[in-house]
């Protein structure tokens, strides 16, 4: 029977070029969140405010996915966060695309 030593580190599942790209996505996501907040603060049109606010959960989801890939080198344990389930995540993105296409 073979036993693995606890001091042996497993290779990360995300390679370094992808981790660097994920770090850039995190940075762009943070800029987008600040931009969305500034947009909501300055816009007078209610529709633009609601579209910006409706985009925030999707941006948070993308930033968290990229953060886990860049920092931890792995996918997050709960891939649907901040949503309850992956089905709710799917419907959120379907509705988000539908709103922006219409």
Contacts 24+ apart (CB under 8 A), 16-22: 18/69, 19/69, 19/70, 19/73, 20/70, 22/65, 22/66, 22/67, 22/69, 22/70
Calculate mean pLDDT across residues 19-37. 90
pLDDT-above-90 percentage for the chain: 26
**pTM: predicted TM-score of the whole model, two decimal places:** 0.74
Alpha carbons 76 and 45: distance in angstroms, whole number: 36
pLDDT tens digits, residue range 43-55? 777 777 777 778 8
- Domain residue ranges in the chain: 16-101
Q: CB-based contacts of 13: which residues, under 8 Å, 6+ apart?
A: 73, 74, 75
């Amino acid at each position: 029977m073979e036993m693995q030593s606890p001091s042996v580190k497993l290779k990360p599942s995300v390679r370094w070029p992808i981790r660097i790209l994920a770090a850039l996505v995190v940075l762009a996501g943070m800029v987008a969140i600040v931009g969305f907040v500034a947009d909501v603060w300055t816009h007078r049109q209610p529709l633009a405010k609601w579209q910006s606010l409706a985009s925030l959960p999707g941006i948070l989801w993308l930033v968290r996915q990229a953060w886990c890939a860049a920092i931890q080198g792995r996918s997050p344990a709960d891939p649907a966060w901040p949503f309850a389930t992956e089905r709710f995540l799917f419907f959120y993105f379907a509705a988000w695309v539908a709103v922006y296409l219409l």
